[in-house]
Amino acid sequence: MVGNSSYKTNNYRYITSKALDNLIVSSDAYSDENYSEQLSQLMFSINSLIYSQYFSKRSFENFTREELDLYMDTFVEESSNVDIYDFKYRNNAVLNYNLEDKLSNIKAKTLVAISSDDIYYTPEFDAYPLKDKIENLEIYIFDAQDFVYLNSERIL
C-alpha cells in the first residue's frame, strides 16, 4: 500500500488553512448569490499562496525571478477553474482532518515517500510519527530539489 503521509492536519497546515478560510469568509462577494469577478480574483490570490507551499525552500532558490513568475502563473492558471465554494469545502475538511486513531487498522506493507525539505509536509511531523502507528511501514525520504517538474517536464 502506498499511503499519503498526511494522516492528520499538523498545526502549520492548520494555520495555513485557517488563514485561507479567513480570506474567503472576509470577502463580501463570498456571501453574495452571484459568482463575481472578485471571487475569481480571490481564488487567484489563494492559488498564489498555495503555490508558495509547492516546492521546498531550496528548490525555490534555484529559480530566477522570471522563472518563479512563469511557474507561478502557470500553476495559478491551471488552478483557475477551481470553484471557491468547492475549495472552501475541501479546506474545511483539512481544518478537521485526523485519521490517527485509524492507522493501526493498516495491515498491508506501507510506503511513505516524503521530501527531506518540504515546506508543507515534513518528515518530522508527517512521516516519523507513523513508525509507531503502522506495522510494516517503510519511510523513503528524498531530496525534492532533484524532482521539480512543470507540466510533466523536468525543469531541474
Per-residue model confidence as pLDDT tens for the chain (156 residues): 334 447 888 888 888 899 999 999 999 999 888 888 888 889 999 988 888 877 777 778 888 999 889 988 998 888 888 889 999 998 998 888 888 999 999 999 999 888 888 777 788 888 899 999 999 999 998 876 665 545 445 444
Residue type, position 153, single letter: E
Locate 128 and state its grid cell.
516519523
Q: Rounded to an integer, what distance in angstroms lies between the CA atom of residue 7 and that of residue 87?
A: 20
Give the chain's length.
156
38: which residues sit within 8 A by CB, 6+ positions away? 27, 28, 29
Global pTM value: 0.72
Environment class of 55 (CB within 10 Å of its CB; exposed 0-12, middle 13-18, buried 19+): buried
Locate 26 and state its grid cell.
472576509
Q: What are phi and psi of 58, to 5 degrees?
A: -65, -40
- Report all structural domains of the chain as residue ranges with CATH numbers, in order of start: 11-154 (3.40.50.1820)
